[in-house]
Amino acid sequence: MFTPDTIRKIEESPLLEGLKQITELFPEGVVFSTSLSQEDQVITDVIFRNELPVKVFTLDTGRLFYEHYELLANNNSKYKIKTEVYFPNSDDVEKYVNDKGINAFYHSLENRKECCYIRKVKPLNRALEGAKVWITGLRAEQSENREHMPMLAYDEQRNLYKFNPLINWSYNDVLNYIDENKVQELPLHRHGYISIGCKPCTRPIEPGENPRAGRWWWEESQKECGLHSK
């Protein structure tokens, strides 16, 4: 579906035009996963304000900050379009908690990854069923693991295209868009929480720290949960 010329045209286009081209090529089956981050709020704003035919969804892990729920409600009210919410399987969560403990993710990398798999990866896989293009808010400067991610590529594992329209944006580009377009955001971002995940696994970062340093801060790892490991 994507020729080299088409890919180049999309990669060189402004955000709105790139998204429009994707939806024109795939009138159905384009989805966007939002974690309600600043990057994702930018993309949400563009999709909803321009009424693009994109399914927007989020994952409720059951361990989010209260502010996530408040922002989700505010998004639904502002744009008059509801973001779909996917939850983890209750049996999976019950077994994990009863077998290992409510905060077992602090005890080992294996436990943490299992928790992420139950609460994030499995619900994501359900949300992506039947999708042809998965839009994300990833940026290259967020972590070393994301530095060389392409803007558009085929994800063989999930059998769909993955489109990262903000991959070359700087953090200042994101903040400028938010300020200029009066985009709602999590108030936590202005208090040192740059990359925000589940509440027990997120702390504010110090000046000069990598944006992902506040995620799973007790670990020496690639700071990924399995959603975007490739």
Closest CA to 200 of 95, 61, 94: 61
Element (H, E) at 73: helix 66-79
Catalytic residue, chosen from 115, 116, 198, 225, is 225
How far is it, in rounded angstroms, from Cα 81 to Cα 85?
A: 13
Q: Does the active-site annotation cover 225?
A: yes
Q: Record the tokens describing residue 217, joined without a space.
A: 């801060």
| Angstrom distance (rounded) from CA 216 to CA 107 | 11
H or E element at residue 57: strand 55-59
Q: Which two tokens stand for residue 3?
A: 């020729």
Q: Which residues are catalytic?
A: 225
